[in-house]
Chains A and B, each alone.
Chain A
Amino acid sequence: MGNEFLIDTGLVNLAYLVASILFILGIKGLTHPRTAVRGNFLGAMGMLLAALATLLAKGLDFRVILAGIVVGGLIGAVAAARVQMTAMPQMVAIFNGFGGIASVLVAGGALAIVLRGQAPPGLQMIIATAASGLIGAVTFTGSVVAFGKLQGLKLFPSSQVIFPGQKPLNALVALATVGASVWLVSDPTDIVAYWTVCGISALLGILLVIPIGGADMPVVIALLNSYSGLAAAATGFVLNNNVLIISGSLVGASGVILTSIMCKAMNRSLTHVLFGVLGPAADGPSADDVYGGNVKSASPEEVAMLFDSAQRAVIVPGYGMAVAQAQHAVRDLTNLLESRGCSVEFAIHPVAGRMPGHMNVLLAEADIEYDKLKEMDEINPTLEQADVALVIGANDVVNPVARTDPSSPIAGMPIIDVDKARTVVVVKRSLSPGFAGIPNPLFAMDNTLMMFGDGKKAIVELIAALKES
């Protein structure tokens, strides 16, 4: 059963053990920003060790391997060096996909090699091969669609794609993947069955991700992250290789944890994110009812006056800040306010941005120290003591309706309680609704001022006004 791939050398397995320990220590390093760089380095060393040990264990054809590693390494290095921090979600998405397709190809290759031999593949190998192909192919095409949506490619509409009969079709395709897998397991000598499993799973990956849009993307990326790990673990069972199993399950666990954190932060179940359609509540109040002439627009000069007397400001960034590339302007504003004796903190909602932790990376890139970045649960009790809450490009995550209206589509979603601050300033292009498609009564509150316009331009004007005052 796949013993061609079993490595008997104790030394190599020892190297795999060391590599696995390095991966675990590497992730452990990520529990604090101070130790994180070293942690990532340990992980990379683990990978190098595992790859080298495998290379040396088999007297192999170095040409193919060298060529593959050089090509892949160059592409990876260039992509890593060039990518904008705002584009991080699509980068991680496409890398997830590459991990998935690699597992598909490895499992397929292994099956082909075994079929050339005398004995047919054993039951463990064939089940694991089916699992690798299924999970790997779903991960690959799902990730490509997620990448396309996040990158804004025309081929992939970034919004939810809904069509009649979608759910029955998805169910049918899911059943077909199971059917093809059963075919493969019952006739393990037929490689066509394997590629059929992969083909139908690829279709399933596309169908599962196209109905998901906008603010639900962090969940999808975290889930695909988990799948890419599980695909690698399944490949480990194909090859009887423990380092693949260990690393794959570490990644699988990581993705599942992040997925559940994201779902909790939106107060929605995973099933609802994947299969439910989020739309405006049919009987919800209209935008006119909510705003009804109570929205106050303010000039940069008026907002500057507010900040002049402020002791404590809390900035709430959302995806809109990333779109407007306003993070560097926000850093300048922070420095200016602090030089005038006003303390500044950032309130980060777990689902702000397009992937878990996205806002933190964008703000860190702009040289904002990480100890100013506060989690929602930490900052919420202190918002009453904030003189100004500045909301930049965020909407649903500061909508008080989540607390007050049980019939709202976002009811029960934990939000950042900016409405409790003495004054709220919202920087936003217009009154258009966020992903949840509902109006936000925060914009019409007595203590709210709206600064309409592009996020970056508005902050730059605010800085200029502050310097003049």
Chain B
Amino acid sequence: MELLILLLTIFALAIFVGWEIITKVPPTLHTPLMSGSNAISGIAIVGAILSASTSNDTVTTVLAFLALVFATINVVGGFLVTHRMLDMFRKKG
């Protein structure tokens, strides 16, 4: 129960922090914000690694493997495409 309260505290505070900084992102950067935050939601990769390392039979190993593939696409693709876009916003010259 104590752990749950701790996790809920983290959850609530993180939402407030997110709200405060994200409202300051200008509309010009909304697309990179989406693809960048999308990459961050690939944090499921941590869960996938945990799953893979705890898995104890074929079914759970396959589930973990698939989760890893999807989460990694999300992370790698998300950060790279965001970088590609943001590079275009750099002042030329």
CB 8 Å contact bits of B10-35 with A (1 = contact, 0 = none) = 11001101110111111111111111
- How far is it, in angstroms, between the C-alpha of A417 and the C-alpha of B74 when the chains are bound? 39
Q: Which of the residues A36, A103, A221, A257 comes within 8 Å of B19, measured between beta carbons?
A: A257
CB 8 Å contact bits of A43-87 with B (1 = contact, 0 = none) = 110110011001100111100110111011101110111010100
Check if B39 sits within 8 Å of A47, measured CB to CB.
yes
User: B37: which A residues are within 8 A, CB to CB?
Assistant: 27, 225, 229, 250-251, 254-255
Give chain B's interface residue range (CB within 8 Å of chain A): 35 or more
- How far is it, in angstroms, between the C-alpha of A102 and the C-alpha of B78 when the chains are bound? 14
**Least Cβ distance of B52 to chain A in Å?**
5
Q: If A245-B7, A364-B85 touch, does A47 touch B79 (CB 8 Å cutoff)?
A: yes
**Least Cβ distance of A21 to chain B in Å?**
10
Q: Which residue of B lies closest to A255 (CB)?
A: B37
Q: If A23-B40, A72-B70, A252-B15 touch, does A350 touch B35 (CB 8 Å cutoff)?
A: no
Asked if A33 CB lies within 8 Å of chain B CBs, one says: yes
Q: If A71-B72, A80-B77, A251-B37 touch, does A361 touch B50 (CB 8 Å cutoff)?
A: no
- How far is it, in angstroms, between the C-alpha of A31 and the C-alpha of B21 when the chains are bound? 8
User: B38: which A residues are within 8 A, CB to CB?
Assistant: 92, 95-96, 99, 225, 228, 251
Asked if A446 CB lies within 8 Å of chain B CBs, one says: no
Check if A99 sits within 8 Å of B30, measured CB to CB.
no
User: A317: which B residues are within 8 A, CB to CB?
Assistant: none
Asked if A463 CB lies within 8 Å of chain B CBs, one says: no
Check if A47 sits within 8 Å of B43, measured CB to CB.
yes
Check if A242 sits within 8 Å of B10, measured CB to CB.
yes
Asked if A433 CB lies within 8 Å of chain B CBs, one says: no
Check if B21 sits within 8 Å of A24, measured CB to CB.
yes
**Least Cβ distance of B49 to chain A in Å?**
5
Q: Which residue of B lies closest to A222 (CB)?
A: B34
User: B90: which A residues are within 8 A, CB to CB?
Assistant: 33, 37
CB 8 Å contact bits of B61-91 with A (1 = contact, 0 = none) = 1011111111111111111111111111111
**Least Cβ distance of A281 to chain B in Å?**
29
Q: If A102-B71, A367-B92 touch, does A244 touch B80 (CB 8 Å cutoff)?
A: no
User: A244: which B residues are within 8 A, CB to CB?
Assistant: 43-44, 46-47
Q: Which of the residues A43, A68, A355 comes within 8 Å of B36, measured between beta carbons?
A: A43
Q: Which of the residues B44, B50, B87 comes within 8 Å of A102, measured between beta carbons?
A: B44
CB 8 Å contact bits of B44-56 with A (1 = contact, 0 = none) = 1111111111111
Q: If A47-B40, A240-B3, A247-B43 touch, does A80 touch B76 (CB 8 Å cutoff)?
A: yes
**Least Cβ distance of B29 to chain A in Å?**
5
Asked if A126 CB lies within 8 Å of chain B CBs, one says: no
- How far is it, in angstroms, between the C-alpha of A121 and the C-alpha of B92 when the chains are bound? 56
**Least Cβ distance of A2 to chain B in Å?**
10
Asked if A26 CB lies within 8 Å of chain B CBs, one says: yes
Residues on A facing B (Cβ under 8 Å): 4-5, 7, 20, 23-24, 26-28, 30-34, 36-37, 39-41, 43-44, 46-47, 50-51, 54-55, 58-61, 64-65, 67-69, 71-73, 75-77, 79-81, 83, 85, 88, 91-92, 95-96, 98-99, 101-103, 105-110, 112-113, 116, 124, 221-222, 225, 228-229, 231-233, 235-255, 257-258, 261, 348, 350, 355-358, 360-361, 364-365, 367, 369-370, 373, 375
13 contacts between A and B (CB under 8 A): A27-B18, A27-B21, A27-B36, A71-B69, A76-B72, A80-B81, A81-B80, A95-B35, A102-B74, A109-B67, A116-B60, A229-B40, A350-B27
